[in-house]
Structure 1
Amino acid sequence: MTLSVTISEVGPRDGLQSVDRVMPTEAKKAWIKAEAEAGVSEIEVGSFVPPSLLPQMADTAEIVAFAKTIEGLDVVALIPNLRGAENAIKVGVDKMSIPFSMSETHSVKNVRKDHPAMLAEIRAIAELVAEQPEGQRPHFEVGLSTAFGCTIEGPVAEDQIVRLAEAAMEAGVAECGLSDTTGYANPAQVTRLVRKVKAAIGSDNLNTLHLHNTRGLGLANVIAGLEEGITTFDASLGGLGGCPFAPGASGNIVTEDLVFMLEAMGIHTGIDLEKLLKVRDIVAGALPGEPIYGFTPDAGLPLGFERAAA
């Protein structure tokens, strides 16, 4: 089992895109700064989508510029297309991820492209990245979304996921990640699909899982991923977020609960949980009345709790 993992905080993007209100820019900056100071080393700070579609993400360029001033922080942004990639590269993101839905119906609804069009877009973005000067090329990852099932189509054939993962790698991406966009995954399915995709594209090219806790299996699915060598897990502070284009797909894994579980198991995250718990005050203050979740924040840390050794 993996003994050290990276937790990628996706709340400022995946969390806020599902909240009707727009969090003030200064509150976003305070949130990101406080999480980095708690030891979170990778944060998805926004998405380069048209503000008309997601006004919550209208300040992403400014947020990226701010986050880039934080030493030791890997700054991630989601991109929907080539134009989004151009904007992300312009402001110097460290890593960018494009959602590639394994459900073609969801892909058309989410980004208005079928699978062939998405692969063409991915190839164009990979070529754009390759054109950048060495040392200024962002890490380009494809998130294989709805990989564990779709709220529109239902089950997605695993052979199709493997085929599309191979096609994405052939198009020039650095790696693929598996995303449980809809909260359908179970541990046996996680084990099976991680093994199949790793066998097809290489173990080094699948390192990330984006899991939801919609049906209460988020942390169980993390354990399954750990046992298959996954080293990066996405999570959202307070469990904010879901996919606005997948009805009923609420509930990212709660960052605080994930950190507690891993550290209690002796798996190093580099995150100071006591500091992380205090970050909730920033989010709650900026989004009054918005539900935020977490068992660990409610119960507190157990007597004698110690962080895992590096």
Structure 2
Amino acid sequence: MSELPMTVRVDGLPDRVTIYEVGPRDGLQNEKTVVPVEVKAEFVRRLVAAGLPVVEATSFVHPRWVPQLADAAELMTALGEEGRHLPVLVPNERGLDRALELGLEHVAIFGSATETFATKNLNRTFDEQFAMFEPTVARAREAGMDVRAYVSMCFGDPWEGAVPVDQVVTAGTRLLDLGAGQLSLGDTIGVATAGHVRALVAAFGDAGVGTDRLAMHFHDTYGQALANTFSALQAGITTFDASAGGLGGCPYAKSATGNLATEDLVWMLDGLGIEHGVDLGAVVATSTWMAGHLGRPSPSAVVRALAG
């Protein structure tokens, strides 16, 4: 079997996309096995060496909430100068303080499209979350940092069910209005389908938010992540979050399984002739190596096919 798919272009799709690698942060945050900081640092370095243009390294969240990432400052120090250019998640101003102390250049905040998840994850109401984020974003921007905003539960919420499209647009535009440069729309429990994706992108367009400011963050809970990615490509989206080996989920949403695997995304993009700059073999090798540290095989179909 060939280790690359045949390339067949499809009219109307972007020529190039950016893969935003979230494995070291979103992928590992949910793992029960505590990964040593030196292994995390090697994981990040390998992903950067594989050509991934953006690798989100960690989160400055309180260790009580995500024990796996309690070593965030140690990790970023170990990564040295290279680490300064990698994004980190900051849940609030205290997290931002730690990122500023280390001289980091890119941060992300994590909001919710629903009231229930905002309450459970952020200990804030839907409206209160924006007041919490406002000083964090303002200070980050004043310091010359680039700010990304995640919105979770964009397609469905395990407590509230289907989430109205206009509610997601309201949450997203409020985060952009605070000063975020890019908005990542998260299918936190993996319930999105292709038509829903198109409708949400179109609704943001109607609200004046172009596809150049949007990214998609799909989970493969129901096996829809690649179908949803193709739909988003058709809608003009050019940034996609993915996790090496399909690691990750959400520690606050029990029904959320793994992220879209970076390897599965790369395989599809290669088949479509869409440029991305990532070495598929290097990412497969990295995911196989990390699966060894975690003591279980990678959930990625492409990793299983190529590494098996």
TM-score, structure 2 normalization: 0.90
| 1:9 alignment partner in structure 2 | 21
Matching of residues 49-198 of structure 1 within 5 Å:
49-67=61-79, 69-70=81-82, 74-132=85-143, 137-198=144-205
For the structure 1 residues 181 and 281, does the alpha-carbon distance in structure 2 shift closer, same or farther, using more than 3 Å as the test?
A: same
Corresponding letter in the other structure for 1:224: S
Pairing partner for 2:270 from 240, 260, 263:
263
Amino acid aligned to 1:247: K
Q: Quickly say closer, same or farther: Cα 1:280–1:166, change in 2 above 3 A.
A: closer
* CA distance in structure 2 between the aligned counterparts of 1:213 and 1:26, rounded to whole angstroms: 29
Do residues 41 (structure 1) and 41 (structure 2) align? no
Amino acid paired to 1:297:
V
Cα distance 1:198–1:32, how it changes in 2: closer, same or farther (>3 A)?
same
Percent of paired sites with the same residue: 36
Q: Offset of 1:45 from its aligned partner?
A: 0.9
Query: SS at 1:142's partner residue?
Result: strand
The CA distance in 1 between the partners of 2:178 and 2:27, in whole Å, is: 29
SS in 2 for 1:19: coil
Separation (CA, whole Å) in 2 of partners of 1:261 and 1:42: 19
Instruction: Quote the Cα distance in structure 1 between the aligned partners of 2:147 and 2:129.
Output: 15
Q: Does 1:292 align with 2:298?
A: yes
> Which whole-Å deviations, capped at 9, do the CAs of 1:166-205 have from their partners, x for residues lacking one?
2222222223221111101111000110111133142166
* TM-score relative to the length of structure 1: 0.90
Unaligned runs of 5+ in 1: 302-310
- Which residue of 40, 52, 59 corresponds with 1:28? 40
AA at the equivalent of 1:157: P
CA deviation string 1:182-236 (max 9, x = no partner): 1011110001101111331421663311110110000111111111221111111
The residue type equivalent to 2:171 in the other structure is L
Alignment partner of 1:80: what SS?
Answer: coil
Alpha carbons of structure 1 residues 67 and 197: separation in structure 2 relative to 1, 3 Å: farther
Deviations 1:147-172 (A, max 9, x none): 11101111111111122222222222
Q: What is the distance in 1 between the residues matched to 2:287 and 2:178?
A: 40
Q: Distance in 2 between matches of 1:227 and 1:291?
A: 32
**Within 5 A, what are the aligned runs for 1:230-245?**
230-245=237-252
Distance in structure 2 (CA, Å) of the matches to 1:94 and 1:9? 17
Report Cα offsets for 1:236-261 as digits up to 9, x if no partner: 11111111111211111111111111
Q: How many residues align?
A: 295
Runs of 4+ in 1 over 4 A off after TM superposition: none
> CA separation in 2, counterparts of 1:20 and 1:268?
35
Q: 1:258 to 1:69 in 2, by over 3 A?
A: same
- Displacement of 1:271 in angstroms is 0.7
Q: Which runs of 5+ in 2 are unaligned?
A: 1-12
Change (3 A) 1:68 1:183: farther
2: CA distance, partners of 1:164 / 1:284: 36
